[in-house]
Amino acid sequence: MGDEFDVDHVVQRALQRLALLAEATTALTSTLDPYAGLDRVCRILVPNLADWCAVDLLEEAGRPRRVCVLHRDPDVLPADGLTGLLPYPPEVPTGPLARVLTGTGALLLRDTDIPPPVLAASSLDARQLELFGHLGAHTAIVAPLRARRQVLGALTIARTSQGAALGSDDVAMVEDLAHRIALALDNARLHGEVQHIAERLQRSLLPILSSVGRVQLAARYAPAATTAEVGGDWYDSFTLPTGLTMIIGDVTGHDLHAAIEMSQLRNMLRGIACDREEPPGRILHRLDKAVHSLYPHTTATCLYALLQEHDDSTWALSHSSAGHPPPLLVTPEGDTRYLEGGQGLLLGVDTDQPRPHATETLPDHATILLYTDGLIERRGESLDTSLTRLRQHAAALAREPIDTFLDELLIGLAPAHADDVALLAARLPTSIHTVP
């Protein structure tokens, strides 16, 4: 009877630990934000495994920063918190945290191993002992966060005298948990580096705009805020003998490959537009044939527009769309209208279909806005609702400077956008004869 009870107890304890490890792993992999993941793991460990825990991470210069402290009794924690920069580890580490941060394996500490802060051998040891003294620690485990043979920080868990003591059988599980935390941190770091490189590449491929004549130009690009990914959103503008081009597009995908394909399409379109002084529909048709031949598995939206001034000082916009949202016209009085003509299929779908274009006469001092779908689309919301919201925001900003106009649209419509966003706007002069 006693043996059966012991076996059942061991099996139950093992299952509880597996469940805890699984829950912690899910918490780590459910977010790309490493600090949010650490906070979730700490809330799982306390009180399931420990009465309190702390996480210290090494910064690039080798100085530790305490990023998380959690106690089962929130009233125990001081109002100003216990997180922040810690002293550098000493050259000859003696305390448990310093030893773990410099390469030692996990350490099991009992109350007899935790001296008062006055006996600390270094300022880092003193800070750790102050933590033990403030929160209480009958037993504790300090484990390294090690991944790819590199120590990224340390995990400290502790039980007070009120709970069962931590033992040697707990060390292996805490080491496993610390290794999983370290892998998640390292993966987040690597993902961030790749994303940063992709974003820098994408920004470097986008043009630096300046006003052309009396037409004011401005553009914005913002990578996805919720997925930390770059995509294929892009804009372009350059001067031709026939007018000023305004181009915006979106290559399918959200990765470095999409950013590279975006640059290839942009350069092809530049070459075609400069070589052929043709209507926008013909330009997009040529681009579609080139995409089909050179990149047969690529699909993309694109809007190609040509802003032209006529002899009578009026302005017109000729435009053709390959599956892209329509341009928005905003008058100085706040009237808004989508220019819905010239709509066609996405690039890379059917090169045999003709591509129409449309021409609109524009009022003085009007603003033309081109945008990608990341600005307007919302999960579970109809496109009509999204487009109406954009019109309302743009109307309220009609008299703002063009840079403010774009900044406020991003703030108001895409504060936490799930897709990357590109914006391109042009503002016409009041009159060709007006002296600046």
Shared domain check, 421 and 342: yes
Distance from C-alpha of 436 to C-alpha of 434, rounded to nearest angstrom: 6
Give the side-chain half-sphere CA count within 13 A for 172.
Answer: 5
Shared domain check, 31 and 173: yes
| pLDDT tens digits along 352-407 | 888 999 999 999 999 999 999 989 988 888 999 999 999 999 999 999 999 999 99
Segments in 206-358 forming alpha helices (H):
256-275, 280-294
Q: How high is the pLDDT of residue 393?
A: 96
Does residue 436 lie in a domain region?
A: no
* CATH code: domain of residue 176: 3.30.450.40
- Per DSSP, 375 falls in state G
Does residue 11 lie in a domain region?
A: no
Does residue 404 lie in a domain region?
A: yes
Q: How high is the pLDDT of residue 435?
A: 42
The total number of residues written for the chain in this structure: 436
Distance from C-alpha of 291 to C-alpha of 22, rounded to nearest angstrom: 46
Does residue 25 lie in a domain region?
A: yes
Shared domain check, 243 and 188: no
Residue 123 belongs to domain spanning: 20-195
CA 50 to chain CA centroid, Å, is: 33
CA 45 to chain CA centroid, Å, is: 28
Shared domain check, 77 and 189: yes
> Which residues in the chain come in under a pLDDT of 70?
1-17, 32, 79-81, 163, 191-205, 210-211, 224-231, 254-256, 416-418, 431-436
Shared domain check, 361 and 326: yes
CB 406 within 8 A of CB 220: yes
Q: How high is the pLDDT of residue 354?
A: 86
Shared domain check, 312 and 217: yes
Does residue 6 lie in a domain region?
A: no
Distance from C-alpha of 64 to C-alpha of 124, rounded to nearest angstrom: 9
Shared domain check, 248 and 174: no
Shared domain check, 213 and 181: no
Last residue of a domain, one of 195, 227, 251: 195
Last residue of a domain, one of 174, 195, 216: 195
Q: How many domains, in total, are found in the chain?
A: 2
CB 107 within 8 A of CB 141: yes
pTM: 0.63
Shared domain check, 422 and 313: yes
Q: Taking the chain, what is the end-to-end CA distance rounded to the nearest angstrom?
A: 97
Does residue 266 lie in a domain region?
A: yes
Structure tokens given for 203: 């920004």
Distance from C-alpha of 82 to C-alpha of 69, rounded to nearest angstrom: 7
* CATH code: domain of residue 392: 3.60.40.10
Last residue of a domain, one of 171, 195, 219: 195
Shared domain check, 95 and 213: no
Measured from the Cβ of residue 334, the count of other Cβ atoms closer than 10 Å reads 14
Shared domain check, 410 and 313: yes
Does residue 434 lie in a domain region?
A: no
Distance from C-alpha of 83 to C-alpha of 35, rounded to nearest angstrom: 13
Does residue 63 lie in a domain region?
A: yes
Shared domain check, 223 and 276: yes
